[in-house]
Amino acid sequence: MANNTMQPIEYTLTRTSRKNVNITVKNDGVIHVSAPKRVALADINKIVLSKREWILNAQKNIKSKKIIKNDVLLRNNASVYLYGTARKLLIVPCMKNFVAINGNTIVFYVKEEYSNDQKYKSSFFNKSLKIELMKDINKFANKYLKLLNLSLNEIELRAMKTRWGTCIPAKKKILFNSKLVHCPYEAIEYVVLHEIAHLVHPNHSKAFYALIEQYMPDWKERKNLLQDYLIK
Ligand SMILES: [Zn+2]
């Protein structure tokens, strides 16, 4: 059997003043290595090769993630993740625009004159999903604000790349990622409670997670669901 463990692995190298060699696999599957200046290239290659299995596993994990793209081409049979389920898109020319979820199908009724206009369709489609998501977020927010005896001034949806939500306790304002609409309900509910809990603890302390646990004993499983989604 051929031994291919010695095949070189491609990576980008950054020299740092840190003490150790550090290997990370980024969301695009590219391997980044940072190493102190004193470590010779040959030794870095050896270290990278010794981590081969771990690297391949990490890359496989990334491939299995559900990728949420900002610009899905809205055409018949396109696959769109909505509330954690991959659904087929059906585009139906109609007198007026509206979006309906019918089991695993999303029916997008669109005015005939715009049925080939991607920009127009995308704008209306995203607006409809935002309205749906806002209803869910409001429902969950009302539930936990009541339970925790708290209040909020403002909830805003925004397309963000790196976070699902942000709380600004001083303004009693929470921003939620509009891409949450693609994730499961249980995960959306977790993000809502997480951000509301920041009104009490503006950090990720033990007390913060204890508060979440009190109202959502299965929060860890819900949080893990989010790991499957990658925003691009
Ligand atoms: Zn947080």
Q: How far is CA 138 from the centre of its chain?
A: 20
Say what the pLDDT of residue 56 is.
87
- The tokens describing 178, both together, are 């509009």
Q: Which of 12, 81, 74, 22 lies closest to 47 in space, CA to CA?
A: 22
Rounded to a whole number, what is the distance in angstroms from the first to the last CA of the chain? Answer: 39
- Between the CA of 22 and the centroid of ligand 1 the distance, in Å, is 26
Say what the pLDDT of residue 232 is.
73
CB 43 within 8 A of CB 58: no
* Confidence grade of residue 1 (pLDDT, cut at 50, 70, 90): very low
- Between the CA of 193 and the centroid of ligand 1 the distance, in Å, is 10
User: Which class does domain 79-231 fall in?
Assistant: alpha beta
- Between the CA of 211 and the centroid of ligand 1 the distance, in Å, is 13
- Between the CA of 116 and the centroid of ligand 1 the distance, in Å, is 41
Residues 28-58 pLDDT 10s: 788 999 999 999 999 999 999 999 989 888 8
- Between the CA of 194 and the centroid of ligand 1 the distance, in Å, is 6
Residue spans per domain, the chain: 12-63, 79-231
Edge-to-edge strands of the sheet including 165-168? 154-158, 173-177, 165-168
Please determine, for residue 102, whether its predicted confidence score (pLDDT) is greater than 80. Answer: yes
Say what the pLDDT of residue 93 is.
92
Say what the pLDDT of residue 69 is.
65
Q: How far apart are CA 165 and CA 97, in angstroms?
A: 30
Averaged pLDDT for residues 59-79: 77
